Amino acid sequence: MTRSRTYLAAATIAILALTSIALGSAIARPSDLTAATIATGRFHSLSVAGHAGYGRPPAPAPLHNCISHGADGAMGFHYIKGSLLDTTLDPTQPEALVYAPDAKGKLHLAALEFVTFQDAWNADHPGTMPMLFGQEFMPVNAVLNNGGLTVYNIPPFYMLHVWIWNSNPSGLFNPWNPSVSCAGAAASGATRATLASATVAQFACRIESNRA
């Protein structure tokens, strides 16, 4: 074997070795979706979610109710962790957990929702859109004649739903799920915990701070 061929063979072996190491590392490192699934599996228990700081906004806030959208399907009930409503996005720490009611009103963890307020995000990350799992967030803008607030009576925000716990025929990241219904929501209404008072105060404070 000539010297040039020897060098070529050695270089090829080195490249293959480095590729194998890189591939092995990629396979060993869990994807963001896998990490999110592992981190949130414990929240199938509402009690565990509550102890972790998640809860429903108090009535009469629209987000207190089961959220649906006619023929497009529904989202369900949102349990929010106020302390996470900032501009930090972490696939293992969703700002909200979405629970779908069954026909008897029992709530089942269905999706994760990642949320950041538009004003805060735009100030910290001008000219960019929030993104996780390779997906851009969806903007929820203010509606007419509502004081600059969205249909949910909170300031404009960016959101991303991830249906890792309930298959969504419309797509993993579609906000509406036609397989979810709010028909059993009435049976859930009086029995589910709302946010702890400290979290409510923090949630409200963050909403107010984003109105300015």
10-residue mean pLDDT series, the chain (212 residues): 46 39 39 96 98 93 88 94 97 98 94 98 98 97 95 95 97 96 73 37 33 30
Q: Are 99 and 124 in the same domain? A: yes
* Together in a domain, 49 and 65: yes
Number of domains in the chain: 2
pTM: 0.76
pLDDT at 60: 84
Take residue 184 and report the two structure tokens written for it. 């059993």
Q: What is the pLDDT of residue 4?
A: 47
The answer to whether residues 156 and 197 belong to one domain is yes
Query: What was the pLDDT predicted at 199?
Result: 35
Q: Say whether both 74 and 141 belong to one domain.
A: yes
Residue 79 and residue 8 share a domain: no
Q: 163-198: buried (b, 16+ CB within 10 Å) or exposed (e) per residue? A: bbbbebeeeebbbbbeebbbebbeebeeebebbeee
CA–CA gap between residue 189 and residue 79 (Å, rounded): 13
The pLDDT assigned to 202 comes to: 35
Whether 77 and 116 share a structural domain: yes
Q: What is the pLDDT of residue 185?
A: 80
Q: What Å distances lie between residue 10 and 5, 17, 22, 24, 26, CA to CA?
A: 9, 11, 18, 21, 24
Are residues 69 and 165 located together in one domain of the fold? yes
Asked whether residue 90 falls in the same domain as residue 174, the answer is yes
Same domain, residue pair 3 and 82:
no
On whether both 5 and 52 belong to a single domain, the answer is no
Q: Are residues 36 and 24 in the same domain?
A: no
pLDDT of amino acid 195: 38
Same domain, 86 and 133: yes
Helix, strand, coil shares of the chain, percent, nearest 5, are 35, 20, 40
Question: Looking at residue 18, what is its pLDDT?
Answer: 38
Domain that holds residue 42: 32-209
